[in-house]
Chains A and B, each alone.
Chain A
Amino acid sequence: MQRRDRGTVQAVGAPLTVRVKNSRVLLIGAGGIGCELLKNLVCCGFGSGYIPPNGANGIPSPKHTPGITVIDLDTIDLSNLNRQFLFRKQHIKKPKALVAKETALPFNPAVNIDAQHASIFDPQYTVAFFRSFDIVFNALDNLAARRHVNRMCLAADVPLIESGTTGFNGQAQAIQKGVTECYDCNPKPVQKSFPICTIRSTPSQPIHCIVWAKSYLLPELFGTSEEEANDMVETEGDDQEEVKKLRAEAQALKKIRGLMGTSEFAKAVFDKVFYEDIERLKSMEEMWQTRKKPVSIQFDTIDKLSAAEGAALASQDQQSWTLVENLAVFCHSLATLTGRAQAGESSIDFDKDDKDTLDFVTSASNLRSHVFGVLLHSEWEVKQMAGNIIPAIATSNALTASLSVMLGFKVFRGMLAAESETATTNGHTMVMKPNNPPLGGSKFIFLNPRSTERIITTQNLARPNPACPVCSPVYAELHIPPVDADGNGMSTLQDLVGILIGNNDYAHFTISTEAGVIYDEDMTDNYSSPLAELGIEPGSSGFVTITDDDEDPRADLVLSVTAAPADGGLSIESHISYGKLPLKPVPAAPPTESGTAPDVKSAMNGIALLNREKRKRGAGDDGDDEVDAAAAKRAKAAPTASDAVVTIDDDGAILLDD
């Protein structure tokens, strides 16, 4: 053992040190927690490979090539530098994953680090890819990616260490299929969205005006995307007539874009949205019977400040601007954005760290607030509301990351015990000994800033929720044979149905993919379609779900798709047999869209989780990582740590028993 491993060896013992050095680790995210995790993993020797001094004497050779793979799709931003310590000023705009590797490697050059600047949703990250690792660490900043990785790890049956922070709060947990609850066992709250008529016609809160400015006015003037904003939706409560009129209004606004760059542009936009549209709304008497009527304003009747004064005001973001001041900032930001658009920026979307868009959204939302008699806010406050900013600091990231790696040690201890057991019993199915608790005795760990007596608390990991739609299915692989040189041997849906009935003993069932149902007993249109045409082909990260249509249904079977060996045919892993599938539990309530949605207040406190489309990087995505509010609540009621003891076993290895 090298001298540099002395700290680790003395603390965890030689066998566990060797296991950790021979590990293959996937780290997803190189942000706040990711940087800390990478440093701790590297410094503790994870993935550095163990070279026995006198040949491989009794030490099992590693299953996979040891190393750490780090994946992140982001580039470095100035606002990351207060906590993402692997990055310096000169790294701004460079890929996080690559810079993190470059900076962390010298801490321990023996570690084999593979950095990938990519999205974890990319198709190359298949179940087989996940399965090639001993453990996965999540250091993500958004719900969609967390849920995706959770599912991939369940399918690959690889332990996952999940973590997140909000301000001084933090948490870390270990997840394994069939052993612990998964990330989706408890429904997660989603971001609040507003009915379109509230945003466009009857705002009554500052957030309504902010959403209007950021998701309607700014995109209409400077965006290209036809996509609907996800914080403004048409609901059943919305008056259809009104929705139609609102569409026409939006079209009219688009026309005003033609004036961009001319001296009339600001006046035209202003009078359109703060005078004409408001006058139209005012004329709809029934709308104002129980509400206060808005008061329209006209460009020419408000005092003008100079352009320089507008620019100067924009830098005073902690004070509330008056009507005149808001107009000055509005004109200033409109001119700046126009300049950018004319310089070739085809689409300018809201980004809370893009000062020009923030100036625009703040002033426009304040002008609208003025019209509707809603409280005005400073830019600082608007930024928090519009950007869904999550406070993030170095200390919480450091704490959460080190707690995660602590869990990692435990998971490896569990593996070590299991592996040596397996070795001694000649490859027979391993039975956990009572002194080898699942995941090495990992816990759910919380950081509670308000309790100075117990900044760190733990609780036992919960069992899987039997009704969880994500972890209750049985996961298996579907092997699809390659097509020969003449294009023959293409597997079809019929072939798949055939093997399900013939090999796996299925009778009545439905087959679906992410695109929806592709087969059931009454729907055989796709029967002769090649699987590839239905999106089912090796090398995609999508899943195929087989749902049992029997009266007492068996659990869902979820298949990941891989290439069959050259001589193999279409098949599902041999151990899968209908009769052996567990019965399906009572269906779970899917994560609710509104029931548990946090209100705007809690969103501002940073405990809100954002429901995001895959790979869509919204402006609110860069806080470090949000704490699961439900879990945080449980933590409050959590019993405190149990009595852990450290024992030394006969061969000198330290057992981390709780």
Chain B
Amino acid sequence: MANDRVPTPPPLHDLPTAKEKRYDRQLRLWGASGQVALEEAHILLVNTGSGVTGIEALKNLVLPGVGQFSILDSAIVCEEDLGVNFFLEDESLGKFRAEETPLESFLQKDDNLKPFTLLLVGAPIDYASLRKIRDLALASQTPLFYTHCIGFFSHFSVQLPRAFPVVDTHPDPTATQDLRLLKPWSELQDFAKRMTDDLETMAQHDLGHVPYVCLLLHYIDKYRTQHGKLPESYKDKTAVRDMVRAEGKDEENFEEAYAAVLKSLNPPTIPSAVRDVLSAPETQSLTSVSSSFWLIANAIQRFVTKYSVLPLPGAVPDMKARSNDYITLQQIYKSKARADCAEVTASVRSLEKSTNRSAKLEIPVNEIENFCKNAAHIHLVRGRPLQLITPGEKPSFGDRAKALRSELTNPESLMGLYLAFLAFDDFTATHTPPVPAHPSSPTGVLVPGASDSALEADAAKLTSTAHTYLDALINESGNRLEDPEYSDLRAEIEKYCTEIARAGGAELHNMASLTGGLVSQEIIKVITGQYVGVDNVCLVEGVASRMGTLKV
């Protein structure tokens, strides 16, 4: 077996200057915590084919500083690989890329997969090994990526742990504004009153410097006095907007207020995705070793029960204002956010006590702060097992059958390509290469179209299997598919299968590079625990540069 271990210095949490400089451009995307997670990661690449996709993905992970990687690979380097595998050079021709150790024997010891934070497996791979890896990853809750890249087509599936929470989702900055204009606290209310006290009599110049947040609070108040309620409906809000317009004296801040009415006059709500987290069984039943995420979620749940709102994020957008007024306004929001966070922190500390959490596991303050700041945008992925066919049998789509059946009538969907890749796996699982194998063939795996003479027969076999899978999905969903859609879909699947067979398992370097790019981007999201990623299947059709996702 191969062990291309890259020695790493111990991860440095304070990121010294040279490293910071090297990673400057990316630290701006995932911060020091993301960088530390990358540096602590150890990735296993299982490559038995020509493997360019895996190598490309690995390159994109080594560059931003992934701590360690190992390649498990039993293929022998031959010239064919050189066209596509840039880590290898002409000199290594004829040498082993790795010591030959059958994948099977490596997988015999369950512990062998323990050191890895993430597994990346490239098709083709022998069926028993894939199943073993999938099961071990499920048991240890280790993220697993599985890829195909054949000709102009590629695919990857992601198997995440049962609960995979993301706190830093990096939402669109405009989506994160939470000004609480319909639910102001007294300090904010008082400040706005002070700023808008003599609005009617104010000199034009002063009028142009009242922060728009104060203007809006003023008009909301005025609306409430007139109508006896808050402006909550769309009609109410446009009424407030008209009030702003009526008084707006061509000043920039009035323009800002006018523009902000519809998006800022919203009662603070708790998104359903966040409610799901707060009511999740893991949040509800804490133990002494619950992850910090669930413990903080529980504390936030307490906060929500008490106040019916999430903790205030505390950020204030730029606006026209005198700088000292703006700073005061910022401070009002900041100190409210701090107070909310302090309350959550107090709950966290008491939960740590009541659950008998060890002092070593004490949750750092900045983690609680970060959670509070992002509370409205946290995201929980419920990882699903990688779908594996059983050779020669019809696949089952379980609780996703209905949803996937509806993909079949979506002209944008690449469901047909997914079925073709499943059929590819069935083909490799049910065929063995003639002995002796061509030195370039991955051990024990025969791909469709490997020889010109078998091309047509292989294409027909693939197509027939994929058609069976299509029927299986339709039957399982209990929802028939009529012509011409059904016939069109069968024809589309046949095209995919014919192309896959034609490629004879060969990777087009550029397509492997594209797929490797997508896979590594998703791996970075998983390792850093930031950004919302693909859940859980991604397909690429390179001819038209099309991609699509499925949840299987």
- In the assembled complex, which residues on chain B have CB atoms less than 8 Å from the CB atom of A5? 83
Contact across chains for A82 and B23 when beta carbons are under 8 A apart: yes
Given contacts A79-B25, A392-B26, A648-B498, 5 further A-B contacts (CB under 8 A): A8-B509, A10-B503, A82-B22, A641-B545, A654-B502
> Across the interface, do A44 and B509 meet the contact criterion of CB distance under 8 Å?
yes
Return chain B residues, CB-CB under 8 Å to A392. Answer: 25-26
Q: Are B517 and A399 in contact (CB under 8 A)?
A: yes
Between A and B, 5 residue pairs with Cβ closer than 8 Å are A44-B508, A45-B83, A393-B25, A396-B517, A455-B518
Q: How far is the CA of A392 from the CA of B531 in the complex (A)?
A: 16
Decide: A394 and B520 in contact? CB cutoff 8 A: yes
Knowing A5-B83, A168-B29, A406-B510, say if A355 contacts B520 (CB, 8 Å): no
Of all chain A residues, the one with the shortest Cβ separation from B62 is A85
Choice from B26, B151, B499 contacting A391 with Cβ under 8 Å: B26
CB distance from A620 to the nearest CB of B (A): 13
Query: In this assembly, does B394 line the interface, its C-beta being within 8 Å of a C-beta of chain A?
Result: no
Contact in complex: B533, A452 (CB < 8 Å): yes
Whether B412 sits at the interface, judged by CB under 8 Å, is: yes
Q: For residue A104, which residues in chain B have a CB less than 8 angstroms away from its CB?
A: 86
A-contacting residues, B444-490, CB 8 Å: none
With the chains together, A392 CA to B63 CA distance in Å?
Answer: 12
| Identity of the chain A residue whose Cβ is nearest the Cβ of B169 in the assembled complex | A450
| Segment from B181-189, B192-200, B217-225, B316-324 that makes contact with A | B316-324
- Residues 509-550 of B, flagged 1 when their CB comes within 8 A of A and 0 if not, give 111011011101100100000011111001011111111110
Determine the distance from Cα of A324 to Cα of B370 in the docked complex, in whole angstroms.
29
Contact with B along A291-305 (1 / 0, CB 8 A): 110000000000000
Sort chain B's interface into a size bin: 35 or more
Asked if residues B411 and A7 are in contact (CB atoms below 8 Å), the reply is no
Which residue on A lies nearest to B65, using beta carbons? A82
Q: Decide if B318 touches A456 in the complex (CB within 8 Å).
A: no
Interface presence of A637 (CB below 8 A) = no
B508 CB to closest chain A CB (Å) equals: 4
Q: Give A394 Cβ to nearest chain B Cβ, in Å.
A: 4
A-contacting residues, B245-282, CB 8 Å: none
Residues of chain A at interface, number, CB under 8 A: 87
Complex contact A398–B56 (CB within 8 A)? yes
Q: Which residues of A contact B517 (CB under 8 A)?
A: 395-396, 398-399, 402
Contact of A85 among B23, B59, B78 (CB under 8 A): B59
A78 within 8 A of B: yes
Q: Could you tell me the distance between the alpha carbons of A480 and B26 in the complex, rounded to whole angstroms? A: 51
A656 to B84, CA, bound (A): 22
Q: Is B433 positioned at the interface, with any CB of A under 8 Å from its CB?
A: no
- Whether the pair A83, B172 counts as a contact (CB closer than 8 A) is no
From B22, B209, B517, name the one whose CB has the most chain A CB atoms within 10 angstroms. B517
Known: A10-B506, A452-B532. A641 touches B412 (CB 8 A): yes
Q: Which of B32, B60, B508, B545 has the most A CB atoms < 10 Å from its CB?
A: B545
Contact of B83 among A108, A403, A456 (CB under 8 A): A108
CB of B152 within 8 A of chain A? Answer: yes
The smallest C-beta distance from B479 to any residue of chain A, in angstroms, reads: 23
State which of A35-43, A179-187, A247-255 sits at the interface with chain B: A35-43
Which B-chain residue is minimally distant from A455 (CB atoms)?
B547
**Alpha-carbon distance A403/B82, docked complex (angstroms):** 22
Of the candidates A6, A391, A399, A623, the one whose C-beta lies within 8 Å of that of B29 is A391
List residues of chain B with CB within 8 A of the CB of A57. Answer: none
Asked whether any CB of chain A lies closer than 8 Å to the CB of B17, the reply is: yes
Contact (Cβ within 8 A) B28 A405: no
- In the complex, whether A245 has a CB less than 8 A from a CB of chain B is no
Cα distance A389–B543 in the bound complex, in angstroms: 34
Q: Is the CB of B549 within 8 A of A453?
A: yes
CA distance A5 to B535 in the complex (A): 35
Expressed in whole angstroms, the minimum distance between the Cβ of B389 and any Cβ of chain A is: 24
Closest to B86 in A: A107
Across the A-B interface, give the 8 residue pairs with the lowest CB-CB distance, nearest first.
Answer: A644-B544, A4-B83, A398-B517, A402-B514, A399-B517, A11-B508, A43-B509, A392-B25
A403 engages B26 (CB within 8 Å): no
Chain A 374-394 interface 0/1 with B at a Cβ cutoff of 8 Å (1 = within): 110000000010000111111
Contact of B506 among A6, A398, A648 (CB under 8 A): A6
A208 and B534 alpha carbons, distance in the complex (Å): 41
Q: Return the chain A residue nearest B28 by Cβ.
A: A391
Q: Give every chain B residue within 8 A of A642 (Cβ-Cβ).
A: 544
CA distance A391 to B28 in the complex (A): 6
Distance in angstroms between the alpha carbons of A424 and B27 in the assembled complex: 56
With a cutoff of 8 Å between Cβ atoms, the chain A residues found around residue B511 in the complex are 11, 402, 406
Which partner residue on chain A sits nearest B82 by CB separation? A4
B80 at the A interface (CB under 8 A): yes
Q: Which of B24, B209, B510, B524 has the most CB of A within 10 A?
A: B510
**A409 lies within 8 A of chain B by Cβ:** yes
**Number of inter-chain CB pairs below 8 Å:** 225
Whether the Cβ atoms of B513 and A353 lie closer than 8 Å is no
Determine whether the beta carbon of A39 is less than 8 Å from that of B86: yes
Q: How far is the CA of A644 from the CA of B63 in the complex (A)?
A: 34
Q: Give complex CA distance A39, B512 in Å.
A: 12
Residues of B within 8 A of A403 (CB): 514, 545
A375–B538 CA distance with the chains assembled, in angstroms = 45
Chain A residues with CB below 8 A from B330, complex form: 375
For A605, what are the chain B residues with a Cβ–Cβ distance below 8 Å? 173
Q: In the assembly, what is the distance between CA of A4 and CA of B322, in Å?
A: 67
Complex CA–CA separation, A204 to B50 (angstroms)? 59
Instruction: Please measure, in the bound complex, the distance between the C-alpha atom of A648 and the C-alpha atom of B499, giving whole angstroms.
Output: 9
- Interface residue from A36, A168, A643, A644 paired with B521 (Cβ < 8 Å): A168
Residue of B322, B411, B507, B542 with most partner-chain A CB within 10 A: B542
Give CA–CA (A458, B524) in the complex, Å. Answer: 24
From B59, B172, B545, A394 is in contact (CB under 8 Å) with: B59
For residue A56, give the distance in angstroms from its CB to the closest CB of chain B: 24
Instruction: Please name all residues of chain B whose beta carbon is closer than 8 Å to the beta carbon of A107 when the two chains form the complex.
Output: 82, 86, 89
A523 and B188 alpha carbons, distance in the complex (Å): 68
Q: How far is the CA of A168 from the CA of B327 in the complex (A)?
A: 32
Residues of A within 8 A of B17 (CB): 315, 355
Bound-state CA distance A5–B510 (Å) is 12
Tell me the chain A residues, 267-292 only, with Cβ under 8 Å from chain B.
Answer: 290-292
B21 at the interface (CB under 8 A from A): yes
Q: Does B90 contact A (CB under 8 A)?
A: yes
**B359: CB under 8 A from chain A?**
no
A12 at the interface (CB under 8 A from B): yes
Q: B170 CB to closest chain A CB, in angstroms?
A: 8
Min Cβ gap A302→B in Å is 22
Contacts of A405 in B (CB 8 A): 510, 513
**Could you say which of B60, B86, B542 contacts A398, with CB atoms under 8 Å apart?**
B60
Binary flags per residue of A504-526, CB closer than 8 Å to B gives 1, else 0: 00000000000000000000000
Pick the contact of A11 from B318, B506, B541 — CB < 8 Å? B506
Are A445 and B545 in contact, CB atoms less than 8 angstroms apart?
yes
Q: Chain B residue with minimal CB distance to A657?
A: B543
Q: How far is the CB of A366 from chain B (nearest CB, A)?
A: 15
- Judged by a CB distance under 8 angstroms, whether A449 is at the interface is yes
CA–CA, A456 and B511, complex, Å: 14
Asked whether any CB of chain A lies closer than 8 Å to the CB of B18, the reply is yes
Residue in contact with A452 in the complex, picked from B20, B502, B549, CB distance below 8 Å: B549
Interface residue B180 (Cβ < 8 Å from any Cβ of A): no
Complex CA–CA separation, A205 to B321 (angstroms)? 11
Q: Which residues of chain B are near A109, meaning CB under 8 Å? A: 90
- Cβ distance B42 to chain A, nearest Cβ, rounded Å: 19
Contact B513 A401 (CB under 8 A): yes
Give chain A residues whose Cβ lies under 8 Å from the Cβ of B548. Answer: 453-454
Question: Which residue of chain B has the shortest Cβ distance to A393 in the bound complex?
Answer: B26
Docked-complex contact A409 and B510, CB < 8 angstroms: yes
Let me know if B495 is at the binding interface, CB within 8 A: yes
Does residue A646 face the partner (Cβ distance < 8 Å to B)?
yes
B385 on interface, CB distance cutoff 8 Å: no
Instruction: Assess whether B64 is interfacial by the CB under 8 Å rule.
Output: yes
* A589 close to chain B: CB less than 8 A: no
B541 cross-chain contacts in A, Cβ below 8 A: 644
Q: Indicate if the CB atoms of A3 and B83 lie closer than 8 Å.
A: yes
The reply to whether A641 and B546 form a contact with Cβ atoms under 8 Å apart is: yes
Q: A389-B24, A399-B517 are in contact. Are A646 and B495 (CB under 8 A)?
A: yes
